[in-house]
Structure 1
Amino acid sequence: MSLNISKNDIKTIFSKDPEIELKRREESYDLIETLELPKVSKINLNKFNFEAFNVKYETGQLYDQLSDELKTYITDEENIVVIKDGNLIYRNLSSNFNSTYIEDFKHAKENNRELLEQYYMTKAIKPNENKLTAIHHAFLTSGLLIHVPKNVVVKDTLKVYIIGERSDLFHHTLLIADESSEFSYVEKLVNINDIKANVISETIVNENAKVNYAAIDRFSEDCLAYINRRGHVLANGRLVYALGQLNDGNTVSENLVNLVGNGAYCESRNVILAEKEQLQAVTTKIAHHAPHSEGYIINHGISKDHAKLVIDGIGKIHKGMNQSNAQQDTKVIILSETARADANPLLLIDEYDVLAGHAAGIGRVDEEQLYYLMSRGLSRLEAERLIILGFLYPIVDQIDSEQLQNEFIKTIEQKLAM
């Protein structure tokens, strides 16, 4: 399938971009036909229409009030930033964020271009990795830059709502935590109209820095989504992901982290729920490029109705990265006879002096647990609900926002009831 937008359209759509940025977009456009779609076990992504899209470069003013319509998508009203169609339209932040830089790409290009040039798609991910990363770079319309300076510890959690409405959503979040800083971040991905989404985030964790990154993905049933989250962790840095991958539509998700400094640490906790006729294809990979690094992958999945859930977990320890530790654990519960699930753990170990292990299990709700709860007076549906929520709780508990935790649980319950 070929693109429905020509190279010449780039200059029309992005007419206000500087010439050097147009040139970079055109270079990425030239890469698209030479690259393949991401690889997912047993799934042919060519049958999904990732290469036909509608792009508008929206410009607008900042707004200090949220419309009633937007409020229906937002559950938290403090320490939040709202990005809609590429524009930062609302912020309400405490003084704890005074030392951080938080701005959409349009304004960051005007007053923080050097930081963008240094980090944007240069370290954690590059445009030429696959067809969808090249498309992302060529047609990017929305971006958020967050910079946490050296030694700054932000006690509050930043909640970011990323919303697409008037155009297919090509969004990029770049989060940079400098040395010995600490930051907690929660994002929610939402669409209002029927759009496609190509969303990439890069989290740069410098030496001795700590980042907690949580997300709730809530694109609708008609939204074909590609979501790629990347981490780049330096010496003694710590990155913890807690990802609720709860889209209603077909989704391809890649969560890839490079541990590049001695003692770097990453923990990736993922909840994935597939329902109806949906495909959820999730790849989680932690690559050890430094000794004494630690990587933990914990995937908990639910597949119901006629859905297909594919979870690929990859731990890669490169040669010479001694005393590293790569662990992964994937568990999936199937809730119907017609639902399908594949769990594919993979360890690629090129060094002897390491620890590594994986476990994977696919099954139904435990009948003994059901019997125990039902003997205490619960119905089968009530007992099943409690077991599933307990199964997912280790990931939900990592979300550092009570309102979003509650929304997470509410979303799970709604999906299970359908």
Structure 2
Amino acid sequence: MMTETKLAMNEQDVRTFSEQNGEPEWLKEFRLQAFARAQVLPLPEVDKTKLNKWNFTQFTDFSVESTTYSALNELPEKVKALVDLENAKQNLYIQHNQTPAYLSLSESAKAQGVILTDILTAVKVHPELVQKFFMTEAVKVDEHRLTALHAALMNGGTFLYVPKNVVLEEPVQAIYVHDHETAPLFNHVLVVAEENSAVTYVENYISANDGAKGIVNIITEVIAGANAKIEYGAVDTLAKGVTTYVNRRGYTGRDAQIEWALGMMNDGNTISDNTTNLVGDGSVSHSKTVVVSRGKQTQNFTTRITHFGKNTESFILKHGVVKDASTMIFNGIGKIEHGASKSDAEQESRVLMLSEKARGDANPMLLIDEDDVMAGHAASVGRVDPVQLYYLMSRGISKNEAERLIIHGFLAPVVTQLPIESVKKQLTEVIERKVR
């Protein structure tokens, strides 16, 4: 039986927020209906993690004004390290808390009809496009309380649209800086690549200071049309005091491809859902995730790829390092629906333990409803391989340095996939700091 949930806002607050933003009527009604659902829907069911004591709904402020930047040299040092300061025409969006702080789109991208803007501007300037894709295919409002709450209270995010037959050579980069302790961030990222198009999108979630606190609720929808290709990279480094729900979803048309490279480096409690639905025949998705868990944090990561179309292919790779008294849970689900013949679902989950008090679980699952398919999985939880350690130490490398090299090699499959060198360097530095 569902029970009502007391939320920090009421229906009139939602209505007022939408009207003050000048949003179209469809979005205001969408928000209000979602808010009603959020009060009765349960929290998501997550294997081996109890979410009822996590704070996803209580906050004091909601809408806050934050810093904007007119030039790249005005950016905070943490952000400067992630961008090309010499290229003022790069495809770049920066958001400070809920406020769009900087936007740059190359002339060639504009000429090809590419749209890059914040999500709240997009619903007013490109309402037909946003309404067509916003929480209609990849993520549904009524999945559980957190998706409904997100739909009702969305207050930030990005809209990236690539028209048919457009191959965007330069990557699109988005940086979300969070430092407000009392106002939540409900960030929605909508990436759409139409038929025969291609785009690379890389994002960073960063806390401006290590003492940052708050609630972050992220939903990403990645829609790949027929024969489109989307490469999606992310590095999340939110602070210890931030409770994070992140839901990244993909939806593929015929012969489409979605590639995920996710570096999940938050220091606070995190629940993550990375799901791709291979709907079109011949579509492909590879999801690669690396995680480092430390302190007393609890992190739960579910990666699911569901095959609906024929001749579809998936690969899930998850490598995690867990230390101190932290808990890390990997759930990998490969599902082949009836009718998805000739499909191939593979997965690998590995957890490396660095402490006696740490807890790591790797739970691979294959759900097969079709006969003419291929599927396989591998999972392991263990310590640093003593043979590898001995090999390196026998060549004059100290034990600490040898362990460091093994850990970096263990996490390399995702680090090397990131297409922006500054982001790749940042992830490497974060890993170094967290496992030191």
Could you tell me which of 70, 81, 84 is aligned with 2:96?
84
Shift in alpha-carbon separation, 1:277–1:68, aligned structure 2, 3 A: farther
Structure 2 residue 208 is the aligned partner of structure 1 residue 189: no
Shift in alpha-carbon separation, 1:251–1:356, aligned structure 2, 3 A: same
Could you tell me which of 155, 169, 173 is aligned with 1:141?
155
- 1:5-404 matched pairs, under 5 angstroms: 5-16=9-20, 17-58=23-64, 63-66=69-72, 68=74, 70-74=76-80, 75-77=82-84, 78=87, 79=90, 80-98=92-110, 99=112, 100-166=114-180, 167-192=183-208, 193-404=212-423
Deviation at 1:306, TM superposition (A): 0.2
Distance 2:342 2:61 in 1: 47
Task: Report if aligned partners of 1:96, 1:155 keep a CA contact under 8 Å in 2.
Answer: no
Unaligned runs of 5+ in 2: none
Task: Report if aligned partners of 2:24, 2:123 keep a CA contact under 8 Å in 1.
Answer: no
Deviation at 1:173, TM superposition (A): 0.5
TM-score, reference length from structure 1: 0.96
Deviation at 1:109, TM superposition (A): 2.3
Distance 2:321 2:177 in 1: 26
Distance 1:92 1:121 in 2: 26
Deviation at 1:59, TM superposition (A): 6.2
Deviation at 1:61, TM superposition (A): 9.3
Distance 1:119 1:410 in 2: 36
Deviation at 1:249, TM superposition (A): 0.4
Distance 1:145 1:175 in 2: 6
Task: Report if aligned partners of 1:284, 1:313 keep a CA contact under 8 Å in 2.
Answer: yes
Task: Report if aligned partners of 1:13, 1:56 keep a CA contact under 8 Å in 2.
Answer: no
Distance 1:172 1:32 in 2: 17
Task: Report if aligned partners of 2:93, 2:117 keep a CA contact under 8 Å in 1.
Answer: no
Task: Report if aligned partners of 1:269, 1:299 keep a CA contact under 8 Å in 2.
Answer: yes
Counterpart amino acid of residue 59 in structure 2: F
Distance 2:26 2:230 in 1: 33
Counterpart amino acid of residue 141 in structure 1: N
Distance 2:13 2:342 in 1: 51
Distance 1:222 1:311 in 2: 22
After superposition, give the CA deviation of every residue in 1:298-350 in whole Å (9 maximum; x if it has no partner): 00011100000001000111001100111100011000000001111111100
Distance 1:40 1:155 in 2: 38
Distance 1:385 1:93 in 2: 39
Q: CA RMSD in A?
A: 1.7
Distance 1:381 1:60 in 2: 43
Structure 2 residue 7 is the aligned partner of structure 1 residue 3: yes
Unaligned runs of 5+ in 1: none
Aligned length: 417
Shift in alpha-carbon separation, 1:136–1:369, aligned structure 2, 3 A: same
After superposition, give the CA deviation of every residue in 1:91-124 in whole Å (9 maximum; x if it has no partner): 3443442221101123212321100010001111
Q: Secondary structure at the match of 1:156?
A: coil
Task: Report if aligned partners of 1:14, 1:57 keep a CA contact under 8 Å in 2.
Answer: no
Deviation at 1:55, TM superposition (A): 4.7
Q: Secondary structure at the match of 1:45?
A: coil
Q: Secondary structure at the match of 2:273?
A: strand
Q: Secondary structure at the match of 2:296?
A: coil
TM-score, reference length from structure 2: 0.92
